[in-house]
Chains A and B, each alone.
Chain A
Amino acid sequence: SQTIHQWPATLVQPVGSPLSLECTVEGTSNPNLYWYRQAAGRGLQLLFYSVGIGQISSEVPQNLSASRPQDRQFILSSKKLLLSDSGFYLCAWSVPGGNTEAFFGQGTRLTVV
């Protein structure tokens, strides 16, 4: 069966520090991968998606970047965090080539102080 791992679960970082959140998927090949952000009391905003290794599409201009160094690994990064980067970050995957269910990780609660 397929599983998605996302870590860490919580993170407190000072303003100006770097960020690296990692997500890995098991049990499937060539998944579509996504990073979403959920601000307090808000919906899920799509930040990045990837349909293959090294292929990253950005949905919104921001202080973050994403990379996909391996087929089932998706990394969210920042060189210098801003207060506004605080939020709940969710990684997700779906089967490629069709409109199907997206499976979400458990999320990372990031607080920038």
Chain B
Amino acid sequence: GENVEQHPSTLSVQEGDSAVIKCTYSDSASNYFPWYKQELGKGPQLIIDIRSNVGEKKDQRIAVTLNKTAKHFSLHITETQPEDSAVYFCAASLSSNTGKLIFGQGTTLQVKP
């Protein structure tokens, strides 16, 4: 089945710097790639997603890139702020019926003021 690897597991940046989180997936049939942000003690919330027919998508300070050939996708956060501190998860989905998401292991991002 699908397997998603996420790196790094922890990331510490200075406020205003950029942060990049990378994920690889195993099943080339995967066609939907969301990114979630999870704050302490809460459920994850979608921050951005990308589909396999698109190479890049941007929403203000957040962008996601997808390389289907290499089977990897990345989250880019620019001008980081302390409120960006959280756990970030990537996921991949290849089923159009069940909508199952296979998640990466998560990245704990700390933005130091």
- The interface of chain A, by Cβ under 8 A from chain B, is 6, 32, 34, 36, 41-46, 49, 51, 57, 59, 90, 92, 94-107, 109
Contact = CB atoms under 8 A, between A and B. Distances in A.
In the complex, which range does the number of interface residues on chain B fall in? 20 to 34
Contacts of B31: 99
B110 interface: no
B44 A44 contact: yes
A106 B42 contact: yes
Nearest to A57: B98
A34 B103 CA distance: 13
A60 B100 CA distance: 13
Interface in B36-52: 36, 41-46, 49, 51
B105 A96 contact: no
Interface in B70-113: 89, 91, 93, 95-106
A92 B44 CA distance: 10
Given A6-B43, A42-B105, A42-B106, 14 more contacts: A34-B100, A43-B6, A43-B104, A43-B105, A44-B101, A44-B106, A45-B103, A46-B100, A99-B51, A101-B46, A105-B43, A106-B42, A106-B43, A107-B43
A49 B98 contact: yes
Interface of B: 6, 31-32, 34, 36, 41-46, 49, 51, 89, 91, 93, 95-106
Contacts of A102: 34, 46, 99, 101
Contacts of A97: 96-97
B45 A104 contact: yes
Contact of B93 (A96, A99, A106, A107): A99
A32 B106 contact: no
B95 A99 contact: yes
B43 A104 contact: yes
A49 B100 contact: yes
A105 B34 CA distance: 17
